[in-house]
Amino acid sequence: MLNEKHLQVVIVGAGPAGLSAAIAARESGAERLLVLEREEQPGGILQQCIHNGFGLHRFSQELTGPEYAWRDIETCREMGIDIQTGTTVLSVSRDRKVTAISRKRGLEVFQADAVILAMGCRERPRGALATPGTRCAGIYSAGTAQKYINLMGYMPGRRVVILGSGDIGLIMARRMTLQGAKVLACVEIMPYSSGLNRNIVQCLNDYNIPLLLEHTVTDIRGRERLEGVTVAKVDQNRQPVPGTERNFDCDTLLLSVGLIPENELARDCGVPLCGATGGAFVDERLQTEVPGIFACGNVLHVHDLVDYVSEESRLAGQAAAEWAMGRAPKTEKVMQVQDGFGVRGTVPQRIALRADGETENVHLMFRTSNVFRDCALVLTADGAEVLRQKKRILTPGEMVKLTLSPQLMEKIGTARTLTVAVDVQG
């Protein structure tokens, strides 16, 4: 039998979510705290994001990914937080038993009072696209190409087409151009980009890279190495329109077609997952439906800004520490939060009303299902409107954050259902 080590809080993942959660948990009083990370160094995906633009909300200055990560890594070091790298978590049980393995320590079992899931997300692979064509070399996910260039010093190719307009793909369009490649086009099947508007401007427009909306790749040519792709316009059903085909001679195709939360551990331990976000169902303190297990960051829902990841994860760290120490507020009723017209993936999906009647800020985050201009966000409680905010523009590429103040929560009272929706009439 393996000796089990008892800990107050175990955090799975040492990316920006896990690091922020660890700092907040320590600040909230958790002394027996451990962060487990499968890579050889903490920081997560930020270590390969050498461009700037991080930290504007949190630090009021532009940082590169490694600079942003270093601040939290250094804070963890100063606070004496144990980050165990090179360690793969094999399972998390419903009773918060964490089993992990590493070359240095072998198989280990940790019994935690609270567990925070902060594993991040992964890129959607080519196999999920059903794109016809050969299985030749030269096809990469945008993140893989980023790792090759920024960390390993390898250049994936010289003539590039990018499928999908996610933020990593947009950033890689600029990066490949700066490295001397020719980016022929960024191809997006939807009528709008799924990336931040600032990345469209700074990474495509500034380098005269065309963005082909309502287009997709319909064929891939090449045997040993990619030789070219065929791009066609799509109709309202996202089906290729005959006669609109265009051929691009290229040696590289980068895929930026969405991110998937890494929720295998959550699924295995019985944490219910939300179809709209790919992450767990959580309450306003980011606790899943399995008591004592929390989730935050991109494993909960894919964010557009790391600043929001850090802010959200601090809440998870504080809540997990309070749970582990028996200080979590007692609740008596649960209010369900649901998506209305034009809204998808609202987090949290439920709000637990405290037994003592006290209220605090509740932050709802979601994306819109389309581009809406001169509209309004409307919050209703059991069908009655309680909040209306006018918006000049809402886009799927940018997350929306709606803060429910204590005063608004008192107005909502004991409603059973909250609904967030877009009113196109404004």
Q: 153-205 pLDDT, tens per residue?
A: 999 999 999 999 999 999 999 999 999 999 999 999 999 998 999 999 999 99
CA separation, residue 108 to residues 10, 84, 90, 257 (Å) = 13, 12, 10, 36
Residues 156 and 248 in one domain: yes
Q: Which residues of the chain have pLDDT under 50?
A: none
Residues 3 and 33 in one domain: yes
What is the per-residue pLDDT for 132? 79
Dist CA 189 CA 155 (whole Å): 27
Residues 20 and 112 in one domain: yes
Count of the separate structural domains present in the chain: 3
What percentage of the chain exceeds 70 in pLDDT? 100
Residues 268 and 359 in one domain: no
CATH number at residue 175: 3.50.50.60
Buried b (16+ CB within 10 A) or exposed e, 216-227: bbbbbbbeeebe
| Region of residue 339 (phi > 0: left; psi between -120 and 50: alpha; otherwise: beta) | beta
Residue 159, class by beta-carbon neighbours within 10 Å (0-12 exposed, 13-18 middle, 19+ buried)?
Answer: middle
Residue 252, domain extent: 125-257
**Last residue of one domain, picked from the residues 242, 257, 272:** 257
Q: Can you tell me whether residue 222 is helix, strand or coil? A: coil
Cα angle vertex 261, ends 258, 145, to 5°?
50
Tell me the whole-structure pTM to 2 decimals: 0.94
What is the per-residue pLDDT for 305? 93
Q: Are 15 and 43 in contact (CB under 8 A)?
A: yes
Please give the structure tokens belonging to residue 58.
């949190």
Residues 174 and 140 in one domain: yes
Residues 302 and 392 in one domain: no
What is the per-residue pLDDT for 2? 66
Residues 67 and 135 in one domain: no
**Last residue of one domain, picked from the residues 298, 328, 358:** 328
What is the per-residue pLDDT for 51? 94
CATH number at residue 373: 2.60.40
List residues bridging with 373 in a β-sheet. 393
What is the per-residue pLDDT for 128? 73
Find, among 352, 375, 370, the residue nearest to 425 by Cα: 375
Q: Are 101 and 215 in contact (CB under 8 A)?
A: no
Residues 97 and 149 in one domain: no
Residues 92 and 79 in one domain: yes
What is the per-residue pLDDT for 69? 98
Residues 14 and 118 in one domain: yes
Residues 272 and 246 in one domain: no
Residues 30 and 141 in one domain: no
Dist CA 216 CA 234 (whole Å): 7
Dist CA 124 CA 114 (whole Å): 30
What is the per-residue pLDDT for 414? 86
Dist CA 383 CA 289 (whole Å): 26
Residue 136's CB is within 10 A of a number of other CB atoms, namely 16
Residues 6 or more apart whose Cβ sits within 8 Å of residue 423: 341, 375, 376, 377, 378, 388
**Last residue of one domain, picked from the residues 240, 257, 274:** 257
